[in-house]
Amino acid sequence: MCIRDRCNTLGKESACRELAKIALEDKEDVIRGGAVDELNDQTVLAKIAEWDRSSEVREKATRKLTDQALLSKIVLHDESNDVCEAAVQNPSLVDQALLANIAIVDSNEQISRTAVTRLTDQGLLANVAEKARDAEVGRDAVKKLTDQTSLARIATDNVDFKIRFAATRSLTDYPLLLKVAAGTSDETIRLTATVKLTDQLALAKVALDSHDAEVRR
């Protein structure tokens, strides 16, 4: 008999108690995990997410948590990368400063990159782009940046070429592109900025010519 059927034979309150008991006490990891799949009690899920001996069971419980403080604790202290990533992916973890810190300092690249996907704060994204220990994490942050001043600063000042290049490609502000093109000693960055400037001039000319044609009509 499956866990759901075992619990359905009981009254609602008794079923919840039975489900919690299975999730907390069963000797088999797969049985505890199955019980977690059916469980909604946040108090019980919290205990399992923190203390279950199986990382797979802790991961299942972590994905169902709604307590941001506990999710933060799990991210910082659980020994399993899969559990930590589940905490970062959990929609209830919305602390932007914490997510930015994870993106910058976590030793696991995948967890850092996952944290970047949850970031929306432009200032914090810029900080990640500038301070991330891994270039891929920095590039991910740049791709989410729209703040032109931050992008221009990163394009000229960042120590990593890939991040500078990504920032330059994301720039659209004409004066800032001019500033990057004139201020960088990196030939590739200068060329990339110059091409974007030329493209903008060409588009402006097309728009002007089109307008003139309309006027002439």
pLDDT digit string, tens, across residues 152-190? 999 999 999 999 999 999 999 999 999 999 889 999 999
Over residues 121-148, the pLDDT tens digits come to 999 999 999 999 899 999 999 999 999 9
How many residues are present in the chain?
Answer: 217
Confidence (pLDDT) at 10: 45
